[in-house]
Amino acid sequence: MTANASHYLNRFKAYLRIDQTIRDDAAQELYAHLQDKTQELEETGLSREEASKIAVQSLGSPELIAQQIYETHAQGSWKEAFFSALPHFLVASLFASYYYWHNVISLSIILGLTVGTAIYGWHRGKPIWLFPWLGYYLMPVVVTGILLLSLPQGWGWIAALIYIPLALFVLVHIVRQTARRDWLYASLMLAPMPVIFGWFLSSGAGNEFLANDMWMARLQAKAPWIVISFIALAGATIGFIRLKSRTHKILSLLTPPVVILLSVTLASRASIDAWGWLILLISLFAFAIPVWMQARAYQ
């Protein structure tokens, strides 16, 4: 393979953020086309380097070809879209019923289903429907960190020093593995985070979590709006899976969580303390940073 062809194919594969099998097959077909074109030009008397350069130029921009192939394969099926949105619907159903929200058996079943589905998908090639499930799989890890704030002064800092490195290791490892497939899938995975934290903290949870039993009642009073929030997340997820254009995918993914978070925090800003605002900013940053990284990589 000539240097021109190698550079072209590397740019093509770097830009085409899609399933590895599809990407490798597309790159192989593109390479075969370059080989045929180069050989054809060599037969006219050109040197191999000159023929390769002209063959590469005749294909056009590798980014444009990658975009066309991405839009051909990026649209998931309705089955994939529904299964991707299913964890959001499950959370919405919990808040839709006071009984199920307080029933340990129901919570345990949903938690077990989430963990089992996430582990199954992780070891089955990381299909696109996996990533929303992974978001809820990570939630207990993150929420535990918030609950450490309620420990007596001194103990909270000791627990945090032990817990934070372990939690960051888990989060960074999973986000890195996800981003290797596509940066946008990391945002798809983290989409519930700012919404959950927004409702959690707007209900008075935080430093006074263990000392104040009223926060659960306040959370339950907001249940109809919480249900709507997670149904909106489910709709955004379905849109993300079904849309072809990468730009449309980004808009469908980012808009609902950001709008929900802003609405919740502005309506409840008086009940959120400094720690709460910091947690919300971190969660929003973690959710949005993969999209920013993707845009930067494509410049």
> Among residues 49, 72, 95, which one ends one of the domains?
72
Task: Look at the block and give the residue holding tokens 């590469």.
Answer: 56
> Among residues 72, 95, 121, which one ends one of the domains?
72
> Among residues 47, 72, 97, which one ends one of the domains?
72
In the chain, the largest separation of any two C-alpha atoms, in whole Å, equals 85
Looking at every residue in the chain, the average pLDDT score rounds to 75
pLDDT score, position 207: 47
pLDDT one-digit tens code per residue, 53-105: 888 888 888 888 887 787 777 788 899 899 999 999 988 888 877 655 556 67
> 261 is in which domain, residue-wise?
76-297
Q: Are residues 157 and 58 in the same domain?
A: no
Chain center to CA of 260: 17
Q: Are residues 33 and 52 in the same domain?
A: yes
Q: Are residues 22 and 100 in the same domain?
A: no
Residue type, 237: T
- The total of structural domains in the chain comes to 2
Take residue 156 and report the two structure tokens written for it.
């909270």
Q: Are residues 126 and 56 in the same domain?
A: no
Q: Is the pLDDT of residue 37 over 60?
A: yes
Q: Are residues 265 and 121 in the same domain?
A: yes
pLDDT one-digit tens code per residue, 273-289: 665 666 667 666 666 66
Take residue 132 and report the two structure tokens written for it.
């929303």
Q: Are residues 208 and 221 in the same domain?
A: yes
Neighbours of 44 (CB within 10 A): 8
Give the percent of the chain with pLDDT over 90: 6
Exposed, middle or buried: residue 3 (CB in 10 Å: 0-12, 13-18, 19+)?
A: exposed
Q: Are residues 141 and 266 in the same domain?
A: yes
Neighbours of 69 (CB within 10 A): 21
Distance CA 55, CA 69 (A): 20
Q: Are residues 291 and 164 in the same domain?
A: yes
Q: Are residues 61 and 80 in the same domain?
A: no
pLDDT one-digit tens code per residue, 116-127: 888 888 777 778
Q: Output the pTM of the full model.
A: 0.70
Q: Is the pLDDT of residue 211 over 50?
A: no
